[in-house]
Amino acid sequence: MPNCVLAYSGGLDTSVILGWLQDQGYEVHCVYVDVGQPCEDRDAIMQKAHNCGAASARLVDVREELCRDFAFPVLQWQAKYEGIYLLGTSIARPLISKACLEVAREVNAEAYAHGATGKGNDQCRFQLAAEALDPNVKILAPWRMESFRSLFPGRKEMIDYCDAKQIPVKASLAKPYSSDENCLHISYEAGELEDPAVCGVDRVDFGMTVSPQQAPDKVEEVTIGFESGVPTSVNGKVLSALAVVETLNQIAGRNGVGRIDIVENRFVGMKSRGVYEAPGMTLLYAAHLQLEQLTLDRDLVHLRDRISPEVAEMVYYGFWYGAKMDALMAFIREAQRPVTGEVKLGLYKGNILIHSRTSPTSLYDAAIASMEGGAADYDQTDAAGFLRLQGLPGRVQSRVRPREW
């Protein structure tokens, strides 16, 4: 009997896929990769997999690794897809594939199955990551198979299938939108949100943030510490990577920070509308940027900023494991070495205010920058020659090709 691993959540889709794979003759090993998604009872999910005939079921907790080795390097790049999305779902997918393939190696599975649809980005992220880690992996993506889609054209057929097989699921035909959550963020899409004329904030029942209108009527301060570009403390307390994110999720969430509503360009070519909330990561991006302004050389920051959109695209599309990403991550580790210090933020009804930033490696020299007095390292008379040289190409061109003005 052929065997496979299934990225398993215990929800409607993966419950149906577990049964369908067994119908196809597979021995199925279920892997619940814990990235911080909420659920009623993880033990119950494992037991459900066993009850439904899984050959094995296990939970793999990767939350710390997700924050430390995936989210924080992307943060160091200040990478945002299309200038706004903090990539919370995208970052988690290659790690889920890695965890599933580690189990596949243990159980000698010949295939890796997942429940991503054939229209979305996740199928790309799962598969590109898996093939980069194991070039011989066989991917089973039921939603890309006509035989599967003909059996399950909609949720009604999936619910009926579970009823017939006595598979317990909490699902209904009424589904105003779908959501995906991990410790970094929650995404909301599909259903009513597919109409961009609909106000997403009014439709979504946010899980991590209050609305700015409901946030407290006073400013809350929070101090975030970094070492070489890595967040290490909150309000003076040294924390693990996961604890930093979870603590800031609570602080930012109660102050209405971190919501966005966008129409984005999927890797497969279509536009989609998504509503996202990422309270803790929004604070980290803001604090990190402020500390960089103190500690990094202008030309280095500008180079990073030119490459950052490309890094965001690579993460969004699913190209996490590859020579190009490895080299870029080595670059950013070196570039971030001086980014050490603390940033104090003020949070008020969805807004982030900068209250202070300090660093032992600050390049800011008040004596040089001050408009008052002079400094030994900067003589204002030098500016005349500097500008005369900078203007030379323009003067030559103007003589040869006079501009109309």
Torsion sign over Cα 303, 307, 311, 316: positive
Rounded mean pLDDT, 190-216: 94
Whether 375 is in a domain gets the answer no
Q: Residue 153 has what pLDDT?
A: 92
Do 106 and 196 fall within a single domain?
no
pLDDT digits over 95-148, tens only? 999 999 999 999 999 999 999 999 999 999 999 999 999 999 999 999 999 999
pLDDT digits over 39-61, tens only? 778 999 999 999 999 999 999 99
CATH of the domain at 279: 3.90.1260.10
Do 146 and 48 fall within a single domain?
yes
DSSP run (H or E) holding 249? helix 241-253
Q: Could you tell me if 284 and 290 are in contact, meaning their C-beta atoms sit under 8 angstroms apart?
A: no
Rounded mean pLDDT, 294-319: 98
CATH of the domain at 28: 3.40.50.620
Nearest-angstrom CA–CA distance, 273 and 287: 28
Q: Could you tell me if 254 and 211 are in contact, meaning their C-beta atoms sit under 8 angstroms apart?
A: no
Do 145 and 55 fall within a single domain?
yes
Flag whether 7 is marked binding: yes
Whether 153 is in a domain gets the answer yes
Compute the mean pLDDT over every residue in the chain, rounded to the nearest whole number: 94
pTM above 0.75, yes or no: yes
pLDDT at 373 over 70: no
Do 182 and 82 fall within a single domain?
no
Q: Which of 164, 193, 226 is the last residue of a domain?
A: 164
Do 156 and 185 fall within a single domain?
no
Rounded mean pLDDT, 288-307: 98
Q: Residue 171 has what pLDDT?
A: 62
**Residue 233, CB-side half-sphere exposure with 13 Å CA sphere:** 14
Q: Residue 6 has what pLDDT?
A: 98
End-to-end CA distance of the chain: 80
Do 139 and 202 fall within a single domain?
no
Whether 389 is in a domain gets the answer no
Do 154 and 116 fall within a single domain?
yes
28: phi then psi, degrees, rounded to nearest 5: -110, 130
Do 77 and 109 fall within a single domain?
yes
Long-range contacts for 154-160 (Cβ within 8 Å, ≥24 apart)? 155/12, 158/12, 158/13, 158/16, 159/12
pLDDT at 38 over 90: no
Whether 397 is in a domain gets the answer no
Q: Which residue has the higher pLDDT, 355 or 377?
A: 355
Rounded mean pLDDT, 71-84: 98
Flag whether 12 is marked binding: yes
Whether 130 is in a domain gets the answer yes
Whether 404 is in a domain gets the answer no
Do 137 and 21 fall within a single domain?
yes
Q: Residue 1 has what pLDDT?
A: 84
Whether 322 is in a domain gets the answer no
Residue type, 49: A
Q: Which residue has the higher pLDDT, 367 or 345?
A: 345
Region of poorest pLDDT, from 100-109, 162-171, 185-194, 306-315: 162-171
State CA 284 to chain mean position distance: 13
Flag whether 285 is marked binding: no
Q: Could you tell me if 209 and 279 are in contact, meaning their C-beta atoms sit under 8 angstroms apart?
A: yes
Do 114 and 43 fall within a single domain?
yes
Domain interval for residue 138: 3-164
Number of domains in the chain: 2
Region of poorest pLDDT, from 191-200, 275-284, 310-319: 191-200
Neighbours of 249 (CB within 10 A): 25
Flag whether 13 is marked binding: yes
Q: Residue 374 has what pLDDT?
A: 63
Q: Residue 172 has what pLDDT?
A: 67
Residues annotated as catalytic are 13, 93, 122, 178
pLDDT at 170 over 90: no
Do 8 and 145 fall within a single domain?
yes
Torsion sign over Cα 219, 224, 229, 230: negative
Flag whether 10 is marked binding: yes
347: phi then psi, degrees, rounded to nearest 5: -110, 130
Percent of the chain with pLDDT over 90: 86
Q: Could you tell me if 350 and 255 are in contact, meaning their C-beta atoms sit under 8 angstroms apart?
A: yes
Using DSSP's 3-state secondary structure scheme, residue 179 falls into strand
Q: Residue 379 has what pLDDT?
A: 84
Whether 353 is in a domain gets the answer yes
Flag whether 117 is marked binding: yes
Q: Which of 119, 134, 164 is the last residue of a domain?
A: 164
State CA 249 to chain mean position distance: 14
pLDDT at 229 over 80: yes
Do 154 and 188 fall within a single domain?
no
pLDDT at 80 over 70: yes
